[in-house]
Amino acid sequence: MYVTTTGGRILDANPAFLRMFGVGSRAELDEYTAEQLLVQPQRRLEERRALAGEGAVREFEFDIRRPDGEVRTVLDTAYQVVDERTGEIAYHGILIDITDRKELERQLFQAALRDPLTGCYNRRFLMERECELRRGRRSWGIVIADIDRFKDYNDLHGHETGDRVLVRVARFLTGEARPDDAVVRIGGDEFLVLLTGSAARSAETVARRLHATGRERVPVGLTYGWAVREHKEGLEDTIRRADKALFRKRALERRSLVRRRAKKGKRV
């Protein structure tokens, strides 16, 4: 619990409030105003406007920065009190620390965006990321990696071994990606690398690099397709074009293999 002036000077606070701010006494807080203890001081102005207009606020969320530098997230429920004698205004309120709850919410949200087997992002993440990219008017590039004959590999070695291969492929792609790139598992044996910013137009270069380095890093063959966003197309449209490029590349490789085998047979 606390009492402050409209200017943010802390007039009174109970022990729980002091612990929340990591201080031993109210005197230690006298050096600070409420605005100085906020990560985003404008939130205090927003709260003051709400208090002036409605006379009270309920569960107003903001982040505080303690004198030791630690950031905590709190909910503030406060009301405006006018001194009948002097006309001075003070704010009486209760802060509730929700930092742990916010961290749990963040972890749950992140878990919902991840593939449980490989730890890669999933299609839900792509939907969230596309919204961000569109708001920022940013482009993107897509590289799709598909494991060659993965069903045959599973049938031969078993699903447990197949799962380990999927994890190795995911680690390989993640290790080769930039910090700003995202590796997404979009199907059973299909992965996607989302390139943004300056790297968006280098999708082909990235795909060729992955193809060259992956030969010695993963125990299965990978075929790659790529595409760069055209005009204002949606992310799914870019993915479909990258998928088509992958299928064309795989078809060409198979025809080339058939021709080589045919020539070899003629020589024999």
Q: Whole-angstrom Cα distance, residue 67 to residue 209?
A: 48
The pLDDT of residue 267: 53
According to the model, what pLDDT value does residue 145 have?
96
CATH number for the domain whose boundaries are 2-103: 3.30.450.20
Q: How many CA atoms lie within 13 Å of 243's alpha carbon, on the beta-carbon side?
A: 10
Sheet of strand 140-147, all strands in order from the earlier edge strand to the far edge? 182-185, 190-196, 140-147, 222-228
Give a three-class secondary structure readout of 35-80: HHHECCCHHHHHHHHHHHHHCEEEEEEEEEECCCCCEEEEEEEEEE
Residues of the chain with pLDDT > 70, as a percent, come to 96
Residue 21 · residue 67 · CB < 8 Å: yes
Taking CA atoms, 41 is separated from 9, 37, 137, 177, 255, in Å, by 14, 8, 28, 37, 65
Cβ atoms within 10 A of the Cβ of 121, count?
22
pLDDT reading at 265 higher than 70: no
> Average pLDDT of the chain?
89
Report the SS3 class of residue 137.
Answer: coil
Provide the pLDDT for residue 108.
Answer: 85
Q: Residue 52, exposed/middle/buried by CB under 10 A (0-12, 13-18, 19+)?
A: exposed
Q: What is the DSSP letter of 158?
A: -
pTM: 0.65
pLDDT value of position 38: 87
The pLDDT value given to residue 137? 84
Active-site positions read 189
| Confidence category of residue 268, pLDDT binned at 50, 70, 90 | very low
Which pLDDT band, with edges at 50, 70 and 90, does 83 fall under? confident
CB atoms within 10 A of CB 126: 20
The model's confidence at residue 185, banded by pLDDT at 50, 70 and 90, is very high
pLDDT digits (tens, 9 = 90+) for 195-243: 998 888 999 999 999 999 998 899 999 999 999 999 889 999 999 999 9
Mean pLDDT of the region 128-156: 91
Q: Which burial class, exposed, middle or buried, applies to 123 when counting CB atoms under 10 A from its CB (0-12, 13-18, 19+)?
A: middle
> Dihedral sign, CA of 73, 77, 83, 88?
positive
Span 234-263, pLDDT tens digits: 999 999 999 999 999 988 888 876 776 677
In the predicted model, is pLDDT for residue 16 greater than 80?
A: yes
In this predicted model, what pLDDT tens digit does every residue of 28-58 receive, in sequence order? 878 877 777 888 888 888 888 898 899 999 9
- Chain centroid to Cα 165, Å, comes to 25
pLDDT value at residue 10: 84
Domain boundaries, the chain: 2-103, 116-267
The pLDDT value given to residue 80: 92
Residue 266 banded pLDDT, cuts 50, 70, 90? low
Query: What digits encode the pLDDT tens for the residues 133-143?
Result: 988 888 999 99
Q: Given this structure, which CATH class describes domain 116-267?
A: alpha beta
